[in-house]
Structure 1
Amino acid sequence: MTLYYSLVFVLLLSEMGIFMLLILPLPFTWRKKLFQFISESALVAKLQYGMKITFIFILILFVDSVNRVYRVTQELHNAPRGTSTVTMGPERMEVQARKFYSQRNMYLCGFTLFLSLILNRTYALILDVLRLEEAVANLRKENNKNAASGNAVTEVSRLKKELEKKDMEMEVLKKQAEGLAREYGELSDLYKVVEGRKGEVRKDL
């Protein structure tokens, strides 16, 4: 394996390791800090820019390996009809080996590019999930505050109702007191009249 394909293989292993780190079931706070560091770090941004350039070269290698596979396949396909110098024996084995290496390089570059797309999409989805979880946590806090304030409002309304009830009872008591005072006054006047009449009767006697 040539040097650049060895580097592609190392990059593929690195992508597999990063993907395993992304899907680890970490706690929400740890995951939030990790992705916040990744999204805000200047070093990570430079690495991402360098990786984009690297993937362009890997795409070129992928296209070249596909072209090599196609040419070797055509060479093997045309061999029995005499359109190629490849007939049998060591020469055919050499062509088969070239086909194998070309296919290996094609799969290596293809899987590396495909996994890079999966990593990019997984990273974006995890960021969206973190934002949604944070929004849900904030909504829960607001709901708890609203529930607490709602309980306070309910308590205030209950106290107001009790106060209104007490006011109504006080009004009833006032009316009863006024009625009793009025009846007492009438009875007092009647008593005075009766006493006055008794005094007049005694004088007449």
Structure 2
Amino acid sequence: MRTTLGQDVASIAAGLGNDQIHVWRLRYERAWRREPLCALLGIYLGLPAGDIALVDGKHGRPELAEPWNGLLQFNWSHSGDTALVALARRVAPGVDIERLRPRARAMQLADRFFHPEETAALASLDATEREQAFLQLWTGKEAVLKAMGRGIAFGLDRLRLAVAPAAPQVIWLDGDDPAQWQLHPLQVDSSHVASLAWRGPAQAIACWTLADSG
């Protein structure tokens, strides 16, 4: 497997350090299910893709089975034909990607599910800014919840994030210290909005795009 720039994926995987997060963008089709994910995990673990065993955590987050979960943490997300995979050694990453498109019910969703101060901040933006800010907020919340091993059933209003144009930041998280959290937007392309989050110290983030195997 190689990147779109011709780099060897195995060589990149071998360089994943304890203070780094690797993020991969790849083409995705729903019929492929977890095959692309397992292929990438296999490269990082030095195993055939068919030997990768995944289990669902308590709240449904996919994880590597023992003993591999002690060597590598991952998370992935897909939207349409694009997927992101985040991999790390010492922290549990959460990643989320959404396609950027007009959402007529964005403010209704915000009123129902977001923290009131987030909704107020969104309402103060013009329509063009609001579309991007809404998705940055949504993907940020999803990324944090996935890093926690939870899903949106936890409650999107139980965490408050800074709203663009402010820099991404976890301001409040029910039952946890927000200062322990890292939140970063990912620049995927002009058609998507994505976020990466984890609990723990700062990590160096490196991103690549996987070349199509065909």
Q: Which bin holds the TM-score, normalised by the shorter protein? A: under 0.3
Could you state the TM-score of these two structures normalised by the residue count of structure 1? 0.22
Rg larger in 1 or in 2?
1
Q: Which has the higher strand share?
A: 2
**Greater helix share, structure number:** 1
